[in-house]
Amino acid sequence: MTEEKGKKKISILVFSTEKISDPAIDLAGLLKQHYPPEVDNISVPCSSGIKPVWIMHAFERGFDGVFIAADGTDCPFGETCSEKTAEIVSRTHELMKEKGIDPAKLRMAAICSVCSQAFVKLVKDLADYLDETS
């Protein structure tokens, strides 16, 4: 992510999960695997419980991008988590289009409890994309 003088810094809201992706994000910190500090985090029990209205609220409040650090196949609540989280993203993409927001600003990926490197790479990728398109 570039930080040109005077240019607004890219902000990203991450929805993570208490049991699965939070440990990975903590691990990234523990291992000093740096990622953009403008990445904020709200932790929820399960990624398939994230409401599209929350995501839309984040965009309305000025977040440039949203990343869902999903449970994936490790979800403690059931095997359908990935499919349901993907459905949430798909429906939110439609809402974003209606509001004229680029759907690529919302991304999701399964982040297992040890996937700190994957998390760092994916939020950096999103930050780079947002920076290029801002």
DSSP per-residue string spanning 83-131: HHHHHHHHHHHHHHHHTT--GGGEEEEE--TT-HHHHHHHHHHHHHHHH
> With binding defined as CB under 8 A, does residue 86 bind other proteins?
no
Out of 2, 7, 8, 29, the only residue in the binding site for other proteins (CB under 8 A) is 29
Stretch that binds other proteins, among 11-19, 99-107, 124-132 (CB under 8 A): 11-19
CA–CA gap between residue 34 and residue 37 (Å, rounded): 8
Out of 48, 65, 107, 129, the only residue in the binding site for other proteins (CB under 8 A) is 48
Out of 1, 58, 69, 127, the only residue in the binding site for other proteins (CB under 8 A) is 58
Stretch that binds other proteins, among 98-106, 111-119, 125-133 (CB under 8 A): 111-119
Single out the residue of 111, 108, 103 nearest to residue 133, CA to CA: 103
Stretch that binds other proteins, among 80-88, 93-101, 102-110, 125-133 (CB under 8 A): 80-88
CA–CA gap between residue 48 and residue 32 (Å, rounded): 29
Amino acid identity at 66 = V
Sign, CA torsion 87/92/95/96: negative
Contact 37, 14 (CB under 8 A): no
Out of 2, 7, 8, 34, the only residue in the binding site for other proteins (CB under 8 A) is 34
> With binding defined as CB under 8 A, does residue 83 bind other proteins?
no
Q: What is the contact surface with other proteins in residues (CB under 8 A)?
A: 11, 13, 19-20, 22-35, 37-38, 40-42, 44-46, 48-54, 57-58, 61-63, 74, 76-78, 80-81, 84, 88, 91, 112-114, 116
